[in-house]
């Protein structure tokens, strides 16, 4: 009797701990970022720091496409060799809007947020995006996905 009550209590506990519904991912765009030669700051107390000027690029997706106009990545490589990007750059859309991108992460995982005054793209101001990718010959390529909460 006692053991069946215990078993029921445990079953309830397990049910309560069931995996919550995951957020959904919607594809925003793919981006090729071009960078000029890094300026090496050397090994600092927090890791090896490089300043990477972002000099151009292109991005394309179902709801926004255009060019990368300018930016800077001041990422850090830690003692284990993990690169943590920290970057700000500007997307210029084909319809003339400017969108500031703030990027942080631990390679190969990147978190992205947006700021824009454009009414056409104001929905990006509350968006949080996940990006994955890696280095290319002249910069970085990323695939960017918007995270949205699970349906209620």
Ligand X SMILES: *[C@@H]1O[C@H](CO)[C@@H](O)[C@H](O)[C@H]1NC(C)=O
Task: Give the residues lining the site for ligand X (CB under 6 A).
Answer: 30, 32, 58-60, 66-67, 92, 94-97, 118-120, 141
Nearest-10 Cα torsion for 91, 39, 110, 108: 130
CB-CB contact of 75 with 87 (8 Å): yes
Q: Which is nearer to ligand X, 16 or 137 (CB)?
A: 137
* Pairwise CA distance, residues 80 & 84, whole Å: 11
Q: Which is nearer to ligand X, 75 or 133 (CB)?
A: 133
Q: Which is nearer to ligand X, 95 or 115 (CB)?
A: 95
The structure tokens 């890696």 sit at 134
CB of 124 to ligand X, least distance (A): 12
CB of 6 to ligand X, least distance (A): 58
Cβ neighbours, 10 Å, residue 113:
15
CB of 92 to ligand X, least distance (A): 5
CB of 66 to ligand X, least distance (A): 4
Identify which of 8, 10, 55, 63 has the alpha carbon closest to the alpha carbon of residue 33.
55
Q: Which is nearer to ligand X, 106 or 123 (CB)?
A: 123
């Amino acid at each position: 009797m006692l053991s069946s009550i215990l078993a029921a209590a445990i079953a309830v506990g397990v049910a309560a701990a069931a995996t919550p519904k995951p957020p959904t991912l919607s594809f925003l765009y793919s981006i090729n970022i071009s960078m000029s030669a890094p300026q090496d700051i050397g090994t600092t107390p927090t890791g090896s720091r490089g300043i990477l000027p972002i000099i151009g690029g292109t991005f394309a997706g179902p709801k926004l496409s255009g060019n990368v106009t300018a930016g800077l990545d001041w990422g850090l490589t830690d003692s284990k060799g993990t690169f943590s990007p920290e970057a700000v750059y500007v997307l210029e859309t084909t319809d003339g809007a400017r969108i500031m991108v703030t990027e942080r992460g631990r390679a190969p995982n990147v978190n992205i947020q947006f700021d824009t005054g454009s009414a056409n793209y104001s929905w990006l101001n509350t968006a949080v995006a996940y990006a994955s990718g890696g280095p290319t010959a002249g910069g970085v390529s990323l695939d960017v996905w918007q995270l949205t909460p699970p349906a209620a």
